[in-house]
Amino acid sequence: MNTNKVLGVFFIVAIALSSCANIKKNKNTKTVIESKKKPNIVYILTDQWRGSALGYAGDANVKTPNLDSFSKEAVNFTNAVSVTPVCTPHRAALLTGKYPTSTGMFINDLYLPEEELCMAEIFKTEGYSTAYWGKWHLDGHGRSNYIPKERRQGFDYWKALECSHDYNKMPYYDNEDTNIKYWDEYSPFAITKDANKYLSEHANDENPFLMFISISTPHFPHYSAPQKYKDMYPTEALKINPNVPKNLEEKTRKELQGYYAHCTATDEAIGSVLAKIKALNLSENTIIVFSADHGEMMGGHGEVPFTKQLAWDESTRVPFLISYPGIHQNKGAVVNAPINTPDILPSLLGLTNSKVPNSIEGEDISQLIKNPDPNADRVALIMGVSPFSSSYKNPSYRAIRTKQYSYTRSPQGATQLFDNVKDPYQMNNLLDKPEFETLQKDLDAKLKKALKAVGDDFKPKEFYLKKWNYVLDKNRKSIDYWSWEKGNGVVQSPKAVSN
């Protein structure tokens, strides 16, 4: 492991007259925690689940009974956003607590350098066991190749794959076995069954655990959802959002049927994990998070289903529920101030009374989690650094979200200003209207301040591609991951890597 990484686990000895010493386990000793251990963490990350597409969030179509119940046990961040609403950038920001312009991880299928200090490595220094299931999408060595332990960023137990959306025959690798395997049923069910087994086996461990359960649904293909769940959503009965134009209604209904079916099936799978945690009496010492890496447009504003990367709420806003030891009277509390992807890691560290490394750029808002205030406000910075693939034609952007407003700029100037409270479907752009001049100036100043804080000069996308030496495929306008299947793939990463 690179010397810049955190190495080992440090001894912490606290002497008190009325309690036992609290000693963390060092990897080279058999010393164990003798008093109350730090809380376990179970982080459930879904793929492309819109922040609005849940029963507790007000969606009249979808059935999510387990997550609806969990929302009454957790703190609900109603304006959680993805820092860059697409897979690899979100995951890199989540694991490092850093912004995409700082890590260079702003496009799919890049390799997150081994030198980056990541979530599992940090928690291991605090004595945690670490485990990962499902989609990774941070390895950059093709989407189906084996990922050796040294490239797993500190996760030890491992049943995962770089990327696949074949939910009914999902491939994965089992720890150090280099032979590819396949989950034997719909992947959310299979993955959570294995996670529940892990929970049962480690419930009484002396050290806490960090479990990261990465489920690939409800990302397309939507037609592949189990028929039982698709039958719950007759297309003609689905309510379509008012910002979906008539010419996309039919396609949107068709995709929503499978999308919601995946949501309901995934809700059932997640519910099994939540139930297992309760059955094992782990609730009082476990932090549980449910979230997603980004949303999707699903016809909104004339953007076809499957589209993300854009600054609209359908793309950027994600669910974020968090429960934690001692939540008590805060169960069901709502926080309208946004939480951004880089804020999550330092906030988890804050909730576990762990030191936040200097490399982390996100803000520790654990105090807001423990003292939820619906009237609190803050600024979340969103980055469209270099749109790629089908979004390549779209301009890059920087945006901010507060509890009420969204404001966006392209390199050519301001493009969007929405009051999301009065206009939840973002259909009335307030930009350059005289009565909102003061508000626009204030939001613009906040955006510039947020950019300055992370050292982002907001250059055209070509600047960032050149800075990090990224080459996009000329036809697909994305990093070439498919050539790995032919044996001639090339790793692209913020740091030089030998293939």
For residue 363, count other CB atoms closer than 10 A to its CB: 20
- State residue 26's pLDDT score: 37
Q: What is the DSSP string of 418-470?
A: EETTT-TT-----TT-GGGHHHHHHHHHHHHHHHHHTT-----HHHHHHHTT-
- 350-389 residue pLDDT tens: 999 999 999 999 999 999 999 999 999 999 999 999 999 9
Query: What's the alpha-carbon Rg for the chain, to the nearest Å?
Result: 22
pLDDT reading at 36 higher than 80: no
Given a cut of 50, whether residue 34 has pLDDT beyond it is no
pLDDT of residue 21: 32
For this structure, is 137 an active site residue? yes
Determine the average pLDDT of the residues in 57-69: 98
pLDDT digits (tens, 9 = 90+) for 226-263: 999 999 999 999 999 999 999 999 999 999 999 999 99
How many Å apart are CA 150 and CA 256, to the nearest integer? Answer: 39
For residue 14, is pLDDT > 60?
no
Q: What average pLDDT does this structure show over 452-467?
A: 97
- The confidence score (pLDDT) of residue 93 equals 99
The stretch 182-210 carries a mean pLDDT of 98
How confident is the model over 476-487, as pLDDT tens digits? 999 999 999 999
Residue 28 has pLDDT above 60, yes or no: no
- Of the two residues 203 and 32, the one the predictor is more confident about is 203
| Active site annotation includes 87 | yes
pLDDT(8) > 80: no
Q: Of the residues 90, 137, 222, 294, which is catalytic?
A: 137
Q: What is the pLDDT of residue 30?
A: 32
- Beta strands 380-384; 334-335: pairing state: unpaired
Confidence of residue 37 (pLDDT cuts 50, 70, 90): confident
What is residue 498's predicted lDDT score, i.e. its pLDDT?
61
Mean pLDDT, all residues of the chain: 93
- In this predicted structure, the answer to whether residue 22 has a pLDDT above a threshold of 70 is no
Rounded CA separation 109/482 (Å) = 10
Residue 23 has pLDDT above 80, yes or no: no
Q: At residue 408, what is the residue type?
A: T
- Letter string b/e over residues 335-357, b meaning 16 or more CB atoms within 10 A of that residue's CB: bbbbbbbbbbbbbbbbbbebebb
Question: What per-residue confidence (pLDDT) applies to 499?
Answer: 55
Kindly tell me the burial class for residue 488, based on how many C-beta atoms sit within 10 Å of its own C-beta (0-12, 13-18, 19 or more).
exposed
Domains and CATH numbers, the chain: 40-379 (3.40.720.10)
Name the nearest CA neighbour of 5 among 478, 391, 483, 357: 357
Burial of 83 (0-12, 13-18, 19+ CB in 10 A): buried
Report the percentage of the chain scoring pLDDT > 90. Answer: 92
Tell me the percentage of the chain whose pLDDT exceeds 70: 92
The arithmetic mean of pLDDT across residues 44-69, rounded, is 98
Cis peptide bond prior to 221, omega within 30° of 0 = yes
Mean pLDDT across the stretch 65-84? 98
What are the tens digits of pLDDT across the range 380-393? 999 999 999 999 99
Reference 121, options 406, 324, 461, 357; nearest CA is 357
What is the pTM (predicted TM-score) of this model?
0.93
Looking at the predicted structure, is the pLDDT value of residue 18 above 60?
A: no
**Does position 7 have pLDDT exceeding 90, yes or no?**
no
Convert the pLDDT of each residue in 94-108 to its tens digit. 999 999 999 999 999
Q: Which residues contact 4 (CB under 8 A, 6 or more apart)?
A: 115, 117
For residue 496, the model assigns a pLDDT of: 78
* DSSP-derived secondary structure letter, 389: G
Q: Are 43 and 28 in contact (CB under 8 A)?
A: no
- The 10s digit of each residue's pLDDT in 424-442 is 999 999 999 999 999 999 9
- Name, in order, each residue with C-beta under 8 angstroms of 101's C-beta and a sequence gap of 6 or more: 383, 385, 454, 455, 456, 464
Taking 60 as the threshold, does the pLDDT of residue 302 lie above it?
yes
